[in-house]
Amino acid sequence: MLAKTIRVLLVDDEARLRQMARHLLVSDTEIEVVGEAADGRKAVDLNSELGPDLIVMDIAMPELNGLEATRIIRKQSANTKIIVITAMAAEPYRKAAITMGADAFLSKGMLDSDLIPTIHGMFS
């Protein structure tokens, strides 16, 4: 068991995806969802306001895409972990996400099986 709860910020422009991810994450007693955002600009603001341990960040969003938001957040909060998620799971997107400062990259289609193990692996 972890020493503390992992505080997570969910960022995706699709409310349905955020709801599904929240439902998945709250089933784990070591994870707490502390906020949600529908665009990258709000993610940057909520990162400053909430100080999450981890951000689950979509790439394709209005206002500020997830790659650019990841770059900004990485400069603001070097210790915040970031998992970039996307339906476009091609290698160029993974490389771009890692280059911008993401700690992990997951396909939205694999969230059910990969999200919680990835989170625990980052904090173990």
pLDDT in tens, the chain (124 residues): 456 899 999 999 999 999 999 999 999 999 999 999 999 999 999 999 999 999 999 999 988 999 999 999 999 999 999 999 998 767 888 999 999 999 999 999 999 999 999 999 999 8
Residue 82 belongs to a domain: yes
| Whether this model's pTM surpasses 0.75 | yes
pLDDT of residue 3: 60
pLDDT of residue 112: 93
Residue 116 belongs to a domain: yes
The domain spanning residue 96 has which CATH number?
A: 3.40.50.2300
Residue 1 belongs to a domain: no
**DSSP structure string for the chain:** --SSPEEEEEE-S-HHHHHHHHHHHHTSTTEEEEEEESSHHHHHHHHHHH--SEEEEESS-SSS-HHHHHHHHHHH-TT-EEEEEES---HHHHHHHHHHT-SEEEEGGGHHHHHHHHHHHH--
pLDDT of residue 4: 83
Domain that holds residue 72: 6-122
Q: Structurally, how many domains does the chain consist of?
A: 1
